[in-house]
Chain A
């Protein structure tokens, strides 16, 4: 049986984490002789992008990418986070297996990651244990996707609540939850203040929250898994 060779890119700014991934991969290939990994690492957006571009030149076709979301942005300002890198990977690499591993566990970000990158594996760092990491590798190689527990819970919540929230609604809720002011929202979203107000009113009635209570709106949205 010919061993399959995977080209693995680990993009994470924590050397400890990178090391853990490598250990896990080594451990996995030791126990699965048919799988072989060629590992390259990067620790910021710039080196990540470079890595992706270099990988493209190689002959390899099977890519596994461990991608952190929170990364030092690229110096030219084009790549701001792992999310951008993820998009780049999807664009450039043929059929990559992306495992997004993040400490973000808020619903909005997770939702966005799912929507934008649609990774083969989505791990919330706190969820996983070494065993789970090995399991992730196995599933991503053999039968993606793999979502860690928090992600699954989020998806479940959303299915249960049949609110129809578009991206803007989510963004508004998210921004409000992190303390962004209403007056600053038009700078963040391509919407006028009036339409943002209108959306907010709709959200409040949707979540059955009193008119004046923005806080309650956020709490409610969070409960229901939108943030």
Chain B
């Protein structure tokens, strides 16, 4: 009996199809070309590998690396294959490319399947499937499930295998991969065969042949399908139908030339079928022909089947010597190729044929089938464990990923908080800086005030002193001089005319001195209260400077009744600064031709009005500039009232009322 079921074919090349100009892809393609010698093809792969290594690490390069690794495996270079795959896996893990990770595991799975180390292969299939499934690679994921189903079927976990196959089928249907669907249904048929559900098996084979129609180049599969159906009928003991299938196969004349393997199988099976129908005509010849062909192809499982069929024939023909000899050969071969099913069959045949040694063969049969069962059970357990561990691994990954998410959330929150704190801190620093500046300004203004007061005092003292000197000169010195002069004048001086004249001259000179002293005294007392008008003079100066800058005419209308001396210096300084700000604004924005500044008072407050005939602005729309803000804050500090009247093109009127 022959099973047609291979490993799922691994397609080289990733979904990220490399461009034609891609040198790596070129080398890989060249390595697949069997017109080159094996050594050359290996060399191509090494070149491709070096190009990949030289380039930047990214998904494309990592995926190419897995392809190269797989190609190495196909060329039988297992050491290089392992190295490359390990490297690819490490890279893929580093850049977290789940496709490449899955691909690497697929590589391992293929490797272990080839080596018949099925538990490891199963583990890699499973892991690869998790990666592919997670990142939505349907075809690859379905292939992995099919691979697992195949391995499970091999170890008689029929239901598990079925479940996996159905899962794969669902995916293949999704992407309409008919060839794979055929394989899957074919596999299902095998499974049903193994559990003696022949009708079901036939049903699945039917479905498989339906998909067979959907793809080209299906000869091999077609032949296998016919063969499988034939075998199922054979098992079902519907020999004529089985024969019909085998005949259909053999009717194809090209079969013998094109597909010797398939031909031998069909020939063998038909002969066996006829034997079961008790039609022994040409059977021996046909069975031997099939055996010869298989021998020439070195198809060991085929040879084994042929031999078992021959044993059946010899048994039927009651040629027990030949039967036993062939059965022993078959037994040895089955042991060699580790075909446990045929090994057991050959043992039971031998037990029947060789009554003398029957007990030995039966014992061997029982021992072997027991150990086989144990192995199968162990392996089944292992599959379950792998599935569980993989689930755990996935859970762990998920947990770690969740942790990662949490860590990133927390760290971003922490970062945010730090950023916020930093901002607040900076704001605070800026604020305190502003406060400091403000304080500094206030201190400066206070110092200015103090120095002003000091100066005033000094000025007063000066005036007092000057007055005192003036008075002293005027009342004391002048009086005495006058008296002296008069007395000198009345003094009857005797002498010549010249002397008398000289005397008179000196007296007149005294009078001149008196006059000079009096003038000095007057000048000294000619004090004038400068501070009285200082403020308005300063305002006038500011206006003059700014009017030149802003090219406008100005008018200053102070209320004479305001006693500026009485007004608090702080108010004056602030009025001065506010006016400066307002003039700045006028120069910058207003384009005014005329500016009128007036100071008025009513008992309780001083009112400063600044009016211009500039462009004005819309009070509602315009955001406050820094100048306006400064004015507002100054006025607020003095508990004053600030009103702004303006309309576009109609100029601006600022009214500032400060309580005194």
Contacts and interface: CB of A to CB of B under 8 A. Distances in A.
Interface in B172-189: none
Contact of B518 (A105, A178, A181): A105
A183 B490 contact: no
Interface in B512-529: 514-515, 518, 522, 525-529
A109 B489 CA distance: 28
A5 interface: no
A217 to B, nearest CB: 10
Contacts of B537: 212
Interface string A99-129: 0000111100000000000000000011011
A36 interface: no
Nearest to B527: A179
Contacts of A21: 486
Interface in B535-563: 536-537, 540, 558, 560-561, 563
Interface in A121-142: 125-126, 128-131, 133
B511 interface: yes
A93 B513 CA distance: 37
B518 A183 contact: no
B540 A23 contact: no
Interface in B403-454: none
A17 B485 CA distance: 9
Contact of B563 (A20, A24, A182): A182
Interface stretch (B268-276, B320-328, B475-483): B475-483
Contacts of A212: 533, 536-537, 540, 558
For A12, A125, A133, the residue with the greatest tally of chain B CB atoms inside 10 Å of its CB is A125
A156 interface: no
Contacts of B474: 70, 103-104
A15 B479 CA distance: 9
Interface in A179-209: 179-183, 193-194, 197-198, 200-201
B560 A201 contact: yes
A16 interface: yes
Interface residues on A, range: 35 or more
A181 B478 contact: no
A151 to B, nearest CB: 15
A171 to B, nearest CB: 16
A172 interface: no
Interface residues on B, range: 35 or more
A129 B489 contact: yes
B475 to A, nearest CB: 5
Given A197-B560, A201-B560, A214 B483 contact: no
A17 B479 contact: yes
Contacts of B533: 212-214
Contacts of A12: 479
A200 B560 CA distance: 9
Interface string A7-32: 00000111111111101100100000
B35 interface: no
A16 B563 contact: no
B514 A129 contact: no
Contact of A182 (B483, B487, B489, B565): B565
A55 interface: no
A155 B622 CA distance: 67
A220 interface: no
Secondary structure at the A interface, as helix, strand, loop or mixed, is helix
Nearest to B530: A215
A178 B480 contact: no
B463 interface: yes
Nearest to A19: B487
Interface in A23-45: 23-24, 27
Interface string B472-513: 001100111011111101100000000000000001100100
B566 interface: yes
A205 to B, nearest CB: 12
A113 to B, nearest CB: 16
B532 interface: yes
Secondary structure at the B interface, as helix, strand, loop or mixed, is helix
A52 interface: no
Contacts of B490: 20, 23-24, 27, 130
Nearest to A101: B482
A177 B514 contact: no
A4 interface: no
A80 interface: no
A125 B511 CA distance: 9
Nearest to B531: A181
B528 A176 contact: yes
A38 to B, nearest CB: 19
Contact of A133 (B467, B486, B529, B565): B486
B565 A183 contact: yes
Contacts of A61: none
Contacts of B540: 212
B487 A16 contact: yes
For A15, A20, A68, A179, the residue with the greatest tally of chain B CB atoms inside 10 Å of its CB is A179
Contact of A103 (B478, B526, B527, B563): B478
Contacts of B528: 176-177, 179, 214-215, 218
Nearest to B504: A129
B486 A181 contact: no
A130 B489 contact: yes
A28 B526 CA distance: 39
Nearest to A181: B529
Contact of A16 (B483, B525, B527): B483
Contacts of B522: 106
A211 interface: yes
B529 A182 contact: yes
A100 B199 CA distance: 162
A23 B529 contact: no
24 contacts: A13-B479, A14-B482, A15-B483, A16-B479, A16-B486, A17-B486, A20-B486, A20-B489, A23-B487, A23-B490, A68-B479, A103-B475, A103-B518, A125-B478, A125-B482, A125-B514, A126-B478, A129-B511, A130-B507, A177-B528, A179-B528, A183-B566, A212-B536, A214-B529
Closest 3 CB pairs of A and B: A16-B483, A130-B489, A179-B527
Given A128-B486, A193-B561, 7 more contacts: A17-B483, A23-B487, A126-B482, A126-B511, A126-B514, A211-B560, A212-B540
Interface of A: 12-21, 23-24, 27, 68, 70, 103-106, 125-126, 128-131, 133, 176-183, 193-194, 197-198, 200-201, 211-215, 218
